[in-house]
Amino acid sequence: MKTKYASAFKAKVAIEAIKAEKTSSELATQYQVHPEQIRQWKGIASRGIED
C-alpha cells in the first residue's frame, strides 16, 4: 500500500534536506521515510515544481 504524505510534511522534510544539516539517511530515520523519497522531494523543491 502506498503511503500518502501531506504537502506540508513533504515541504518540511524537503527544506530540511536542502539545508543539508543532516544526511538523507538521518532525515529518513527522523521522519520515518525512505531516503530516496527524501531525495525526490528535495529535487522537486529545488526545481520549484509542486506535486
Evaluate whether residue 33 is within a structural domain: yes
- Does 51 score more than 90 pLDDT? no
Is 29 part of any domain?
yes
Q: Within a domain: residue 1?
A: no
Q: Is 21 inside any structural domain?
A: yes
- Within a domain: 25: yes
**What confidence score (pLDDT) does residue 50 get?**
56
User: What is the rounded radius of gyration, in angstroms, for the C-alpha atoms of the chain?
Assistant: 10
- Residue 38 structural domain: 7-47
Indicate the number of domains in the chain: 1
For residues 2 and 7, the model is more confident at 7
Q: What is the pLDDT of residues 17-39, one digit of tens each?
A: 999 999 999 999 999 999 999 99
- Report pTM: 0.82
Give the pLDDT band of residue 2 (cuts 50, 70, 90): confident
Q: All 3 cell numbers of residue 19?
A: 539545508
